[in-house]
Amino acid sequence: MMRCRPAPRALFASLVLLLSAALASFAPHSQLVRAAASVATCAPDSGSATIGGSVTDSGSTPLSGVLVTAYTTYGKRGGYAYTNASGVYQITGLIGASYLVQFEPQSGAYNAEWYPNQPTPQLATPVTVPEAGASSAVNAQLELGARVSGNVVGAGGGPLQYVRVSVYNTSGRAVAAASTDAVGNYSTSPGLPDGSYRVGFAGASGFLDSFMTTSRRWR
């Protein structure tokens, strides 16, 4: 016997854009494709070279849990590491080559960036490390960005908990996220630079997924 599902109820959300600090100009995410290379040079953890350094905020306070990734100049991930409690990281198992290094906070309001302190891979300076060698001063100083926050409620009902809130840039890449709490509140992380974004709300049982678009320069 066929069962009819009740019509999904509308999902409403209010957005409050919070300014955390002055932001760098927005540039859309782009692919790291520069040149072709043989498959043999793409294998991660196949070498003995290392890239290391430290990550701090603008006041030189160490930042822990930052994901640091080394990409080859043709877009393959060569290796990654997370900063420790002292803000120090070391990526091992690299082959001798040039790498573009990205720093991505996993929480909080700090912006992601590329070495040295650049918003996009196109502006990054490659770090060259010889085979069995080390590059030990690839440091980053992360700046605060903006966050998206608000409250999610169901039409004709109360607040919705555990709604997934995702922020997408103009390339369609998810760049920040959050989950609503018991009273429907949320605040996304990591921090965001200036630009246009789509904000998606999903995962509320019995409700339609929803999107909102915001475009502004935060100052």
> Under a CB-based contact definition with an 8 Å cutoff, are residues 152 and 201 in contact?
yes
The chain-wide mean pLDDT, for the chain, equals 78
Tell which CATH classification among 2.60.40.10, 3.40.50.300, 3.30.390.30, 3.40.190.10 matches the domain 39-142. 2.60.40.10
Other residues' Cβ atoms within 10 Å of the Cβ of residue 182: 9
70, pLDDT greater than 90: yes
- CA angle 215–114–216, rounded 5-degree value: 10
Instruction: State pLDDT tens for residues 74-126.
Output: 889 999 999 999 999 999 999 999 999 999 998 788 989 999 989 888 899 99
Positive or negative, the CA dihedral 43, 99, 89, 174 is negative
pLDDT computed for residue 128 by the predictor: 95
CATH topology assigned to domain 11-22+145-216: Immunoglobulin-like (2.60.40)
Tell me: pLDDT of 5 over 90.
Answer: no
* Length in residues, the chain: 219
Conformation bin of residue 129: beta by default, left when phi > 0, alpha when psi is -120 to 50: beta
**Cα–Cα distance between 3 and 105 in angstroms, integer?**
46
Give me the pLDDT at residue 38, please.
31
Instruction: Kindly report, as residue ranges, where domains of CATH 2.60.40.10 are found in the chain.
Output: 11-22+145-216, 39-142
Collapse the DSSP code of 211 into the 3-class scheme (helix H, G, I; strand E, B; otherwise coil) and give the result. strand
Q: Reply yes or no: is the peptide bond before residue 130 cis, omega within 30 of 0.
A: no
pTM: 0.66
